[in-house]
Amino acid sequence: MYTKLITFFFLFSLSHLTFAQDIVGTWQSVDDVTGAPKGQVEIIKEADGTYIGKVIKITPRTGYTPKEFCTGCPAPYTNKPILGLNVITKLKYKKDLSYADGKILDPNTGRMYSLAAKLSNNGQRLHLRGYVGVSVLGRSQIWIRVNN
């Protein structure tokens, strides 16, 4: 009886690990003011365990012409095409679906921010917080997972 109970809990704990979500995948970025889709970012895990996010699609919107190049951005991003640009770098998994210690580049303004993120329990929403210095001095966005 105890053997079956131990086996059950062991298998249950393994199944929890199997279904654990992470942020790898394609995400629809959404304008935090208008709610309009801005583009898609593909997040991948690097060999060192950190995550990067690359712009793979820019979504045209009525009344808005997206920038083609990262003008005004710091090196090494200066005047690089936005399409294909790594806008998220060095993001690390912490615990409980939380990520921190990353950087995020706003290619429209050329500003670089510290980044923290949290994945929703169902794995379909990514809550991002870009900030300067302390998290209170920043701005938040929610990205939506693109299911290919």
15, part of any domain = no
14, part of any domain = no
> Taking 60 as the threshold, does the pLDDT of residue 12 lie above it?
no
Q: Where are the beta strands (DSSP E) in 10-82?
A: 25-30, 37-45, 51-58
pTM of the model: 0.83
| Burial label, 58 (beta-carbon count in 10 A; 0-12, 13-18, 19+) | middle
9, part of any domain = no
- How would you label 96-109 residue by residue, b for 16+ Cβ within 10 Å and e otherwise? ebebbebbbbebee
Q: What is the pLDDT of residue 148?
A: 67
8, part of any domain = no
Range of the domain at 71: 21-146
Question: What is the tens place of the pLDDT at every residue in 123-147?
Answer: 999 999 999 988 888 999 999 999 8
Q: What is the CATH number of the domain that holds 73?
A: 2.40.128.520
136, part of any domain = yes
The total domain count for the chain is 1
H/E stretch holding 129 reads strand 125-131
Amino acid identity at 42:
E
73, part of any domain = yes
Question: What is the tens place of the pLDDT at every residue in 20-70?
Answer: 589 999 999 998 788 889 999 999 999 999 999 999 999 988 877 888 999
16, part of any domain = no
Q: Which phi and psi angles does 7 have, rounded to 5°?
A: -60, -45
